[in-house]
Structure 1
Amino acid sequence: MIFDPPLIPATLIRRYKRFLFDAELESGELITGSCANTGSMRGLTTSGSRCYLTKHSGGTRKYPHALELVEADNTLVGINTGRPNRLVEDAINEGLIGSLATYAERKREQKYGINSRIDIFLQDPEKGLAYVEVKNVHFRRTGRLAEFPDSVTTRGAKHLEELGDMVEAGHRAIMVYLIQREDVDSLNLCGDLDPAYAAAFDRAMKRGVEACAIRCKITSEQIRAETVVPIEESGLNSVS
């Protein structure tokens, strides 16, 4: 995925109210922009960090600038939670996620479960139905280990339960973690930050939910799904 129009370099001043950030452009202009990531963004909000912005031209947006990348530990990290679904679709097309590219039909944001929408829905006259849930990952605190989640996510745990329900109904269900940073080689579930989510993940695996993690390659010009990395979890059901 090429960033078009090109991203705008800036210096992050602060991120606040979950949806907003202040930054200084290279021209010295101070701007306020929108942040598509409503999570904690742990480790990615340090004042003075190099960042890259998207600018939306035209329209009636109150804040035309949007936060796209933040540099942390000399690595560009993607924080835009609007990107992962498309990146995972690219990974499916490239054959990175098992046999998912062979399904006859693919749709986005289909209703399922209890007041939920599945990120990617696949169906095939021979293979049946497959439900793909996508989570954005950008947290790293030790070594080359990505971690999810970076804060409590009751919604994420709910999604794992609903994926398990789909398996028990006779369908496939796949949990995909899209890692928007390059300085990691594996993924771990954050049992210390959200034990309920880690427990929900274990239950989902026992019920037959499949899981995989995809690492992205990121520059200020483009981002793309690059490779599958292992999830450090015993009893994991790898995607076939």
Structure 2
Amino acid sequence: MTRLSVNINKIATLRNSRGGEIPSVKDAAVNCQKFGAQGITIHPRPDERHITRKDVYEIKPLITTEFNIEGYPGEDFLKMVAEVKADQATLVPDTHNQLTSDHGWDTWNNLSFLKEVIARLQENGIRTSIFVDPDPEAIEGAAETGTDRIELYTEPYARLYPLGRDKAIAPFIEAAKFAKNAGLKVNAGHDLSLENLNYMYKNIPTIAEVSIGHALIADSLYLGLETTIQKYLDCLKK
């Protein structure tokens, strides 16, 4: 079974554009779970342009499924994740001013850093996932860090899907196989949508979790949040 974790960053972006508490990220977290999502993902950034530090602490008590916090593993991030006792920390190599995650870790050149970070998180009972490209070398390095999982960066798949889905999915199938052989579970995320999600699921049914935000929240503007989440859950069925 592939679990659906809804990234609610875009709810916070809309709220912050006007100030105040509308729309409420807390209500979004509650309703996404109510409508069937099996997890909530947030990606707090240092500039708080969407999810704020305050949000992180206020959302945690509302989680009845799984709380996945993404971010660059600096000291403030690591402390916050430990304090709220996130279920999973997804580590991304983003710079502070990066618009969105757009590449995976160079795991070998960051091996000692990632080992230290992952050991610290795991000591606090937090599952770890490293954001990587579908590259066997990077996945091999990820396995050396001691991480529990990797998250495959799926933007290349989404971009190439309209041009030829078999070619688009091929490196991800191989990456998932390589990860499994290395003893790693596989998550996936970035630009997955109602158009391309089911094909990925059918070809890689061993994916443990997909994290989807931008497309899902955009679809909900037209379809409503409950209907949209059900449609994404339907994509995770053969």
TM-score by length of 2: 0.32
Q: Which protein is bigger by CA-based radius of gyration?
A: 1
Greater length-normalized contact order (CA 8 Å, ≥ 6 residues apart) = 2
> Which structure: greater helix fraction?
2
> Which structure: greater strand fraction?
1
